[in-house]
């Protein structure tokens, strides 16, 4: 079915609830075993679970490759109740990586690295993580077997076997492949509270999806709301200052100009760990912003367009009947001709659709 984005107007204010595992300060966590039983025996736990992300690679710093991994990890960790507190990009240098890993491990509940795992000279993440904790790298028997099985290589000096040389206290974490529901065949290496992810986006995303239970924080409830304002930031600044002063203990407020939108000039983003706090801050803004500047916007109309169009067609209203008749024509054409033989033009008007053969 060929459907185009519709201009659907209505305010978006979403409450996103995610639950997950309890957390605690990174140093205490780093000094204890990763055995779940030992975690349950720990002392009082902090509800704030934080993460630091270290993106490793000269290619990122040189502008040869665009980093998408940190974006994915931030969104995923937030959905699991983990607050990302810092992102760092470092070169393929053992000393630099080790220093950053050591600093992050002391400061955050979890440290996630991305990149620097492989068979070549610039893949030094395992060595750097080992150095950060005063360890050496050595062949892990299980990893050696996996390399032999995956690559069919048995020579200890072959490049592939570099993947099996990991820090001595490494833990192997097997997740679940979300596509098949089966256990993953290759593990993610972790050392204390540091998790070493691959740099290839597809592999990283699959690994984090399959191991989300390691990071889930059951005490964090994240709620968010967006308001779209058709006015310049300078006009909004006094109200935003008052709102921030009043609610910043419990609610963060962000202001993001948009020079390209036809509908609004500024997106206001509210984030809180309480629906009540979020609602109070939102109500304050709606009451105190200049009248008429908050506009209805659907940020992603494409994902909901088909559902909205067919719901309108089934509504039975005069407009819905016209939409239903148009859909019948389109469906009949699609049943008779191939996509290569059809061109559908839609300019945004409810009665301005042209179907050409």
- pLDDT attached to residue 301: 82
Q: Where would I find the beta strands (DSSP E) of 37-128?
A: 50-56, 83-90, 110-114
Both tokens of residue 50? 């934080």
Close Cβ partners of 123 (under 8 Å, ≥ 6 residues apart): 92, 116, 117, 162
How would you classify the pairing of strands 188-191 and 171-173?
Answer: antiparallel
Residue with tokens 């001595």: 168
- pLDDT attached to residue 18: 33
Q: Count of residues for the chain?
A: 357
Q: Going from the first residue of the chain to its last (357 residues), give the mean pLDDT of each consecutive group of 10, the final group possibly shorter.
A: 32 35 38 37 53 98 97 97 97 98 98 97 97 98 95 93 97 93 93 98 96 94 95 97 97 96 95 96 98 91 87 92 90 90 70 55
Q: H or E segment at 69?
A: helix 69-79
Burial class (CB in 10 A: 0-12, 13-18, 19+), 341: exposed
Q: How far, in Å, CA of 62 to CA of 132, rounded?
A: 25
Cβ(52)–Cβ(97) below 8 Å: no
Domains of the chain: 26-214 (3.40.980.10), 223-295 (3.30.70.1130), 314-356 (no CATH)
Burial class (CB in 10 A: 0-12, 13-18, 19+), 182: exposed
- pLDDT attached to residue 220: 87
- pLDDT attached to residue 302: 84
Both tokens of residue 21? 């595992």
Cβ(185)–Cβ(154) below 8 Å: no
**How many CB atoms neighbour CB 344 within 10 A?**
15
Instruction: Of 96, 50, 45, give the one whose Cα is nearest residue 77.
Output: 50
Both tokens of residue 75? 């969104």
């Amino acid at each position: 079915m060929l459907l185009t984005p519709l201009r659907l107007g209505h305010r978006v204010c979403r409450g996103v609830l995610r639950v997950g595992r309890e957390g605690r300060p990174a140093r205490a966590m780093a000094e204890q075993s990763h055995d779940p039983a030992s975690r349950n025996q720990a002392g009082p736990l902090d509800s704030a679970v934080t993460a630091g992300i270290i993106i490793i690679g000269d290619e990122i710093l040189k502008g040869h490759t665009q980093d998408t991994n940190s974006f994915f990890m931030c969104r995923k960790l937030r959905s699991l109740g983990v607050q990302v507190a810092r992102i760092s990009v470092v070169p393929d240098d053992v000393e630099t990586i080790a220093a950053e890993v050591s600093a992050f491990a002391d400061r955050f509940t979890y440290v996630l690295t991305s990149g620097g795992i492989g068979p070549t000279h610039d893949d030094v993440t395992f060595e750097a993580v080992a150095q950060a904790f005063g360890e050496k790298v050595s062949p892990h028997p299980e990893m050696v077997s996996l390399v032999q099985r995956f690559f069919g290589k048995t020579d200890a000096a072959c490049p592939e076997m570099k993947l099996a040389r990991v820090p001595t206290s490494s833990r192997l974490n097997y997740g679940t492949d979300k596509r098949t529901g089966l256990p993953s065949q290759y593990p993610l290496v972790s050392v204390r509270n540091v998790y070493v992810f691959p740099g290839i986006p597809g592999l990283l995303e699959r690994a984090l999806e399959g191991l989300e239970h390691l990071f889930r924080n059951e005490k964090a409830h994240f709620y968010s709301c967006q308001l779209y304002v058709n006015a310049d930031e300078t006009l909004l600044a006094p109200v935003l200052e008052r709102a921030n002063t009043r609610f910043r203990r419990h609610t963060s407020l962000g202001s993001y100009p948009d020079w390209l939108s036809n509908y609004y000039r500024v997106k206001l983003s509210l984030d809180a760990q309480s629906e009540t706090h979020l609602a109070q801050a939102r109500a304050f803004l709606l009451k105190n912003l200049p009248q008429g500047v908050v506009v209805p916007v659907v940020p992603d109309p494409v994902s909901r367009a088909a559902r909205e169009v067919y719901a309108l067609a089934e509504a039975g209203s005069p407009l819905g009947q016209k939409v239903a008749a148009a859909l019948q024509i389109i469906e009949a054409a699609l049943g008779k001709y191939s996509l290569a033989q059809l061109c559908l033009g839609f300019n945004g008007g409810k009665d301005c659709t042209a179907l050409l053969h």
